[in-house]
Structure 1
Amino acid sequence: MDKKVIKEYQDYINKIGNRKELYKTVADEYDIKTAIYPGSHIDIAPSMFIPKVIYIDNFKGAVKFFKQLDSIKEYIEENKEYSTPAEINFLGQDYNQPLEIEEVDLIISQYAGFVGQAAKDSLKIGGILLCNDSHGDASLAKHDQDYKLIAVIENNKIKKDNLDKYFKLANGKPVDIKQLKEKMKGLKYEKMAGNYLFRKVK
């Protein structure tokens, strides 16, 4: 195992915050077996809880990192929480380009743009979109008839009640989708969550 690669990953999660509990919570709740992570950079934590993950990123740092796939797989095998062998794949491309992959159970969207829209065709009907609203991805999903809001996540706890209180602007103002897409920035709603869970319904 190339320890430099593992140190790079550990330094990265120390910088961005470790999302392991977030991924574990979602994987356990919805029995996730396959996932894609567009705009993943080098966050390989999902593979500790999900047997098959495809990471997608065209950033040169991510491309270089995933060239050490054998070391990454060895690290995951030592730290994963499932019995089957880990299947880890990497696509060094723009996730807005067509993805020639099988449909998956989960799309992970974390601070990487409109992932839920771009990769929607790769999600199974009934599959889950895990996203935040840093760039407005959750807002777009909320106004997309293909998705249904089923829960929010706060402090790695899934909450399924009172979902109608989310995505409401002050004074009942409507969401300007065109402006949202242009600015690529989440809106300040009266009630917000750290992450949102949507189910693909059609």
Structure 2
Amino acid sequence: MTNRIIELYNKYYTYRKFEREEVFSVLREKYGIKNTLYPGSYVHITPSFIFPTTVYVDCDKGAKFFFNDMKIVKEIIESRKKYSQESNIEFLGKSYNAPLSLEEESFDLLISHYAGIISQPCKKYLKTGGLLLVNNSHADAGVASFDTDFKLIGTINIHRKKLISEENLETFFIPKKKQNVTMETLISTQKGIRYLKTADLYIFKKTK
């Protein structure tokens, strides 16, 4: 069982060089993030190497299998964590669209990576002033750009020497083609459109 748990993480993140530990590290250093909510996480436990408290949410059977052996998961985290206190992790094996047994406005960071439209059903759990880290694989970054509860404050390009940029933010989310794009159309299609300028990840701040 131990090898299967470790191999599942390695298969999707270590071997593919997709852990993104450097991203989470720079976010912690710059914004002082302590607790994180990760809906649609699958088995991507890298945030727990950097942030002391993380709640993972996923209804996928592979994720449920992985987190069912919490002892091994915690051992992996304890062996790689970059903080002194004990790690605090929780797994909710359900859809993030369902009501979650979490306190509203209680998280510093909400992560949306490759798992659909997360910003809308889960933003209520994010503190005012908290951050949304999002890519545009299912148009969620585009959705956030329309949402008046969020303000774009930075972009991340993985291969850029300085990961976070706060410059020329007004040049993002401009469609390449003239088209009638709304938050509603992006949510219904869950398909990102082509923009004149893009980033690997976007950082939005919840303003209200």
Report the TM-score range of the alignment, normalised by the length of the smaller protein.
over 0.9
Q: Give, in whole Å, the separation in 1 of the partners of 2:206 and 2:19.
A: 27
| Residue 96 of structure 1: how far off its partner (Å) | 0.4
- Once the two structures are superposed, residues 120-158 of structure 1 have per-residue CA deviations (whole angstroms, 9 ceiling, x without a partner) of 100000000000011011111111011010000012600
Contact (CA 8 Å) 1:99, 1:122: kept in 2 or not?
A: no
Contact 1:33-1:105 within 8 A present in 2 as well? yes
- By how many angstroms is 1:171 displaced? 5.5
Aligned to 1:17: 18
Tell me the distance in 1 between the aligned counterparts of 2:53 and 2:124.
18
Aligned to 1:84: 85
Instruction: State the match for 2:142 in structure 1.
Output: 139
- Are positions 1:124 and 2:127 aligned together? yes
Residue equivalent to 1:195: 201
Call closer, same or farther: CA 1:178–1:16 in 2, change over 3 Å: farther
Structure 1, residues 20-48: CA drift from partner, whole Å, max 9, x if none?
22222222221110001000000000000
CA RMSD of aligned residues (A): 1.6
Contact 2:146 / 2:182 at 8 angstroms: preserved in 1? no
TM-score, normalised to structure 1, is: 0.95
Aligned length: 202
Corresponding position of 2:5: 5
Q: Structure 2 length as normaliser, TM-score?
A: 0.92
User: Who is 1:153 aligned against?
Assistant: 156
- Contiguous gaps of at least 5 residues in structure 2: none
Contact 2:39 2:118 in 1 (8 A): yes
Question: Following the alignment from structure 2 to structure 1, what is the Cα–Cα distance between the partners of residues 164 and 181?
Answer: 25
Residues 133, 139 of structure 1: 8 Å contact kept: yes
Matches within 5 A, 1:110-121: 110-121=113-124
2:110 and 2:132 in contact (8 A); partners too = yes
Per the alignment, residue 167 of structure 1 pairs with 173
Name the CA distance, whole Å, in 1 between partners of 2:83 and 2:19: 19
In percent, how many aligned pairs have the same letter? 41
Residues 36 and 55, structure 2, Cα contact 8 Å, conserved in 1: yes
Amino acid in structure 1 at the alignment position of 2:69: Q
Counterparts in 2 of 1:171 and 1:8: CA distance versus 1, 3 Å: closer
Q: Secondary structure at the match of 2:173?
A: coil
Range with greater deviation from structure 2 (9-18 or 158-167): 9-18
Q: Amino acid of the residue matched to residue 171 of structure 2?
A: K
Unmatched segments (≥5 aa) in structure 1: none
